[in-house]
Amino acid sequence: MKYAIGKFSLLCMAITMSATVSCSPISPSTSALLDLSPTAELLLPTNTSSPELLPEPPTETYQAPTPTPEHLRLSSAAFTAGGMIPQKYSRRSEDISPPLLWDDPPRETQSFALLVLSDPLADGGGRWIQWILYNIPAETRALPEGIRAEKEGILPDGSQHYKNSWGEFKYGGTNPPHASTFSYTFTLYALDIMLNLDAVEEIMNEEGTLPWIGASRDVLLRAMDGHILAQGELVGKYKEP
């Protein structure tokens, strides 16, 4: 053993003189840690746990903003904005529609639609649908007094009536509860399409989205969604004498 250590020391001295590298005897404990044989395995730290999966970034979908409809001035020769509607346009009198007049719409207009609603009823019955007239020709700028529906609610110019709250395809006059003053809102829409309300009603029936109250109004609004270029509003009041 002394001979082996002495021989190793002489070898280190020779290496030190030639390469200026210092060596010291390898202790048995150190030699056990160093395995320089060709069959030695390279030991690397291992991590058997699966890496954490980072959540995917949220996908952002761009939605183009809905254009704000242009203003369309709507008026009537029968009453002023906020004024009282004459009795002859009421349900208990002549029950005829008042005359209406409006400005030029956007050039892309293909048709007009008219919706007339009452104030909400006190019993929670919603707003009474007085009148729906749609597919009014784009060149029309006025409706005369006393429009009467022809066959199946269709007018000679192609305009079509849709069901009001009485289930009628016509104008229904003002009809507030006794001794009450109600407001009636006339809204005219300029649209970039012609409407097919029967097809929309059928779709809503299949979906189960057709409400019990205000169904015809909801059908109209659904059909017009995304197609309103301009709209105007006229509000009149009525009190049963």
Provide the residue type at 117 as one letter: L
pLDDT at 214: 80
CB atoms within 10 A of CB 69: 16
Q: How many CA atoms lie within 13 A of 158 on its CB side?
A: 12
Give the pTM: 0.72
Q: Where are the domains of the chain?
A: 2-28, 72-239
The two three-digit tokens of residue 131, written as one number: 């009148």
pLDDT at 12: 46
Burial of 187 (0-12, 13-18, 19+ CB in 10 A): middle
112 contacts 188 by C-beta, under 8 angstroms = yes
3-class state of residue 197 by DSSP: helix
- Each residue of 185-197: pLDDT tens digit? 999 999 999 999 9
Bridge partners of residue 183, in order along the sequence: 237
The two three-digit tokens of residue 77, written as one number: 């020769």
User: Residue 140 and residue 233: Cα distance in Å, rounded?
Assistant: 17
> Which pairs count as long-range contacts for 140-145, CB under 8 Å and 24+ apart, including other chains?
140/112, 141/101, 141/102, 141/103, 141/104, 142/99, 142/100, 142/101, 142/102, 143/97, 143/99, 143/100, 143/114, 144/99, 145/78, 145/96, 145/97, 145/98, 145/99
| Torsion from C-alpha of 149, 154, 155, 156, nearest 10 degrees | -130
Taking the domain 72-239, which CATH number applies? 3.90.280.10
User: Residue 171 and residue 132: Cα distance in Å, rounded?
Assistant: 7
User: Could you give the angle at the alpha carbon of 124 between the alpha carbons of 122 and 126, nearest 5°?
Assistant: 100
- Each residue of 120-167: pLDDT tens digit? 887 766 889 999 999 999 999 999 999 987 778 899 999 999 999 999
Per-residue pLDDT of the chain (241 residues), as tens digits, is 444 444 445 444 544 444 444 444 444 444 444 444 444 444 445 555 555 555 555 444 445 566 789 999 999 999 999 999 999 999 999 999 999 999 999 999 999 999 999 998 877 668 899 999 999 999 999 999 999 877 788 999 999 999 999 999 999 999 988 778 999 999 999 999 999 999 999 999 999 998 877 889 999 999 999 999 999 999 999 998 7
